[in-house]
Amino acid sequence: MKLYFSNRVRQQSSLSRCLLLFTVVLSAASVCGWALPTAKTDDDKPLGKVPKLPVDSLPAKISTTKIPGGFNGIPAAPADNATTAEKVSLGRKLFFDPILSTDGTVSCASCHQPDHGFASPDPIAVGVGGKIGKRNAPTVINRVFGKKFSWDGRDDSLEQQALGPLKSETELGGNVELVLENIRKNPEYVQQFQVVFGGDAKSPTPEMVTAENLAKAIASFERTLTSGNSKVDRFRAAEYEALSKEARQGLWIFESRGGCWKCHSGSNLTDEAFHNTGVGFGKSGRDQGRFEATKNPGHEFQYKTPTLRDVEFTAPYMHDGSVKTLREVVEFYNRGGDPNDPSLDKKMAPLNLSEKEIGFLVEFLKALSGESVLNPAN
């Protein structure tokens, strides 16, 4: 009996010392600011460097009617969103303004940087607070010719696409109402929204500042961001000296044994369709592509064919930004993508190009840079 009580007393004494030690540690952590281990959450994902905030250095006036060389016309704007100079001006201002982000640090132009072909230099887009998104930010050049928008084609119009980043927590923060409230507190914006959407400029009211009107303004500006009359366009228009000998060889490969035209077709060099080229095959947690928008198993790992216009400015490439240079892009397709991918698009096949021919194709791609708001005279 004495032995039992003796052991019991020692156990209680040890427990008391442990509790005392734990209390001291917690107190020290509180005073010194030590970080104690916690359960991981979605907020523990690694952060990137917040992208720069580009200033608007585009020409003072941007044409809303000019047809880029190499195209037969410009698609009409939606019936409920006619293009006007005032609307384009408002959309342009919003595009460069960090007021569209919940913390006021990034803008549309942060991911679609004018000096980077209206694309992002980051492999994966980085948004508010350095939050890393899921995919590379593609160019907005020539999206006026688009039929589906975003890599997985989830959006049916530029207006719909313009609101996507505002609704995303990793892009502009995901609080559209907060953004609208901040805009409504700005008298200059209230006046502009009234002029564009209200008609009576003498009586501006915040009621015109809506998500729908904001999207219409940004989409109207993006429709003016075109590129055309490239060296390739001029060559096809009988200006034969426009293309170098190497680029001409590349054009021949592009239109013949390279088979590039099968997906990069038409004036904008895209079929606006979706394909699985094998990018990301074998990687853990592979992005499911168009399947995420349609839930159609046949669309898994497919992504929209991007335009090749101004492609030399928009590296890195592919939906995941995994390919750094144009030469590496051509080398990827020269291998036939990833032939081990069981759902690889049937149009994909090894090209068997020599190193010299790969160089020719790269020169052709560079010759697709055209006249735009960035390079008015190319």
Q: Tell me 220's DSSP state.
A: H
pLDDT of residue 9 exceeding 60, the answer is no
Q: pLDDT class for 245, splitting at 50, 70, 90?
A: very high
Cα separation, 160 vs 171, in Å, equals 15
Give pTM, 2 decimals: 0.86
Cα separation, 222 vs 308, in Å, equals 17
Strand-pair partners of 304: 274
Mean of the per-residue pLDDT values of the chain: 89
**Helix-helix angle 355-366:245-255, to 10 degrees:** 100
**Fold entry, domain 85-222:** Cytochrome Bc1 Complex; Chain D, domain 2 (1.10.760)
pLDDT of residue 218 exceeding 90, the answer is yes
Q: Both tokens of residue 216? A: 């219409």
pLDDT of residue 7 exceeding 70, the answer is no
Exposure string of 209-233, with b = 16+ CB inside 10 Å and e = fewer, is: bbeebbbbbbbbbbbbbbbbbbbbb
Strand-pair partners of 323: 317
Is the bond leading into 316 cis (omega within 30 degrees of zero)?
yes
Residues 326, 312 contacting (CB under 8 angstroms): yes
Q: Do the domains 85-222 and 227-372 sit in the same CATH topology, yes or no?
A: yes
Residues 64, 141 contacting (CB under 8 angstroms): no
Cα separation, 232 vs 235, in Å, equals 5
Rounded average pLDDT over 203-215:
93
- Give the three-class secondary structure for 34: coil
Q: Both tokens of residue 20? A: 């005392």
Q: Quick: pLDDT tens for 46-101.
A: 677 888 899 999 999 999 999 999 999 999 999 999 999 999 999 999 999 999 99
Instruction: Tell which residue, 111, 109, 113, 112, has the closest CA to residue 96.
Output: 109
Q: Both tokens of residue 360? A: 């020719």
**Helix-helix angle 158-167:211-222, to 10 degrees:** 120
Cα separation, 123 vs 138, in Å, equals 10
Strand-pair partners of 132: 126
Q: Quick: pLDDT tens for 261-309.
A: 999 999 999 999 999 999 999 999 999 999 999 999 999 999 999 999 9
Predicted confidence at residue 8, as pLDDT, reads: 45
Residues 180, 170 contacting (CB under 8 angstroms): no
pLDDT of residue 142 exceeding 90, the answer is yes
The residues, ordered by sequence, that sit 6+ positions from 319 with a Cβ below 8 Å of its Cβ are 135, 136, 151, 279, 280, 287, 289, 303
Residues 97, 109 contacting (CB under 8 angstroms): no
- Structurally, at CATH architecture level, domain 227-372 sits in Orthogonal Bundle (1.10)
Cα separation, 231 vs 287, in Å, equals 36
Rounded average pLDDT over 180-186:
98
pLDDT of residue 23 exceeding 60, the answer is no
Instruction: Tell which residue, 115, 110, 108, 112, has the closest CA to residue 215.
Output: 108
Instruction: Tell which residue, 213, 188, 211, 187, has the closest CA to residue 198.
Output: 213
Residues 197, 206 contacting (CB under 8 angstroms): no
Predicted confidence at residue 378, as pLDDT, reads: 53
Cα separation, 12 vs 218, in Å, equals 70
> Domain coordinates of the chain in residue numbers?
85-222, 227-372
